[in-house]
Amino acid sequence: MSSLFFILQGQNTMTNKPNPSSTILYSSDDDMQSHAVRFIMAEKNIERKVVSLDAEKMPEEILERSPGQAIPTLFDRGIVLYDLSVIMEYLDERFPFPPLLPVDPIEKSEKRLLIFRFTRSVDSWFEQVAIIETGEEKEAIAARKTLKSNLIELVPLFEYKPFFKSDNMTIVDACLAVLLWRLKKLDINLGAPGKAVTDYANRLFARDSFKESLTDCEKEFN
């Protein structure tokens, strides 16, 4: 059975309070973190409601219930989660098939470190994207150069296995896929040196779950 996937537009969708028994993701149409969560939910075929919001115009109902006042925010079983890593790991444990983190604690810790490196550390890849999109021209040029260089440096890891350092998809791949989908929009061309990265990205983009995770505006990015 296909999963339930509603995209609700505008603040009028917030007239009713969230159902504590439902899995509801409050998401932005073009935000990378929101996209990563949508990809994971689609990969796991989670029955869900996805509510599209403007991060600058958060409805009062969300602001009252989300201490982080951030997007993405997940409502499930009466709890509110708002950190990307927390949301991803919660979904993997709450909906265990297919598993997107290894069982082995050493391998799981490695994946957690990769996610931290790519999404939250100082000068992370997600931070470089943010600088390219919103920074001054000089900063954006430097961030674009850094991100391209970082990706090409890791070519051996992209070609080592079908997924990033793994035989199976993990939440690391979900984070990388949404970034790589935006390279054209960011004016980054990896060229021949980055072929392994492009091949890896195309394998992820071909997944039905990735296609399902795209919003209308994200479809225009690539």
One-letter amino acid for residue 155 of the chain: V
Q: Which residues of the chain have pLDDT under 70?
A: 1-21, 55-69
Which domain, by its residues, includes 83? 7-94
What confidence score (pLDDT) does residue 68 get? 60
Q: 80 with 166, same domain?
A: no
- Across-strand partners of 13? none
pLDDT in tens, 128-151: 999 999 989 999 999 999 999 999
Name the helix (H) or strand (E) containing 155.
Answer: helix 155-160
Provide the CB-side half-sphere exposure for 51 (13 A, CA): 25
What confidence score (pLDDT) does residue 14 get? 38
What is the CATH number for 152?
Answer: 1.20.1050.10
pTM (2 decimals)? 0.86
Q: Answer yes or no: is 219 within a domain.
A: no
Look at residues 21, 26, 44 and name the one whose alpha carbon lies nearest to residue 90.
Answer: 44
Domain count of the fold of the chain = 2
